[in-house]
Amino acid sequence: MAMTMTKPIRRARARLRLFRGEQSGTVTIEAVIMLPILFWAFCALYTFFDAYRYTSIAHKTAYTISDAISRETNPIDDAYLDGQHELMSFLTRSSNTHRLRVTIVRFDADEDEYLTEWSEVRGPVTPHPEGDASALADQLPTMVDEERLIIVETWSDYEAPFRIGLDDTAIQTFVFTRPRFAPQVLFEAST
């Protein structure tokens, strides 16, 4: 009886050895496991790269608008700011909502305060109130008496191409530049 019992055990061990050595189908199983992970990783990398690319474009656009305004020697008007807002849409190559706020800030050393000379907006955002600009003081550099800065703030809505954990968001920029060829930039409202 002991002899008959060891024969099935030997057969089972032999089959287990054959099963252990069998390698057909492993590529299929590995592919079923790894392809969804690789696809998710590709989508995540593309989404994060796209978000950084769009953020870079938004910052470059704000610098371009700020630089253009800093070179103006004549007063700018509503048509000029409308053109800058359209330029923003063109440079970002996006049909998403864009918002633009241009503010001129002056520093008064006698009072040790920042003053808003004028603030104009394009898109659904509020202008800075004329007068006190203390809300911006922590974002501005050290300035000399009666120096003026052009502050360009932009907001661009970003929509992620894939839903991998990065939510749709508004990319905000804050850029300041000194006027280049004139001591100040004036604004003339259209009548």
pLDDT per residue, tens digit, the chain (191 aa), is 455 667 888 888 888 887 777 666 677 888 888 999 999 999 999 999 999 999 999 999 999 999 999 999 999 999 999 999 999 989 988 777 889 999 999 999 998 899 999 999 999 999 999 888 888 889 999 899 999 999 999 999 988 888 888 888 889 999 999 999 888 888 887 76
Would you tell me the crossing angle of helices 26-70 and 78-92 to the nearest 10 degrees?
Answer: 160
Is the residue at 100 inside a domain?
A: yes
Range of the domain at 135: 31-188
Is the residue at 19 inside a domain?
A: no
Is the residue at 82 inside a domain?
A: yes
Beta-bridge mates of residue 156? 98, 171
pLDDT of residue 25: 67
- Number of domains comprising the chain: 1
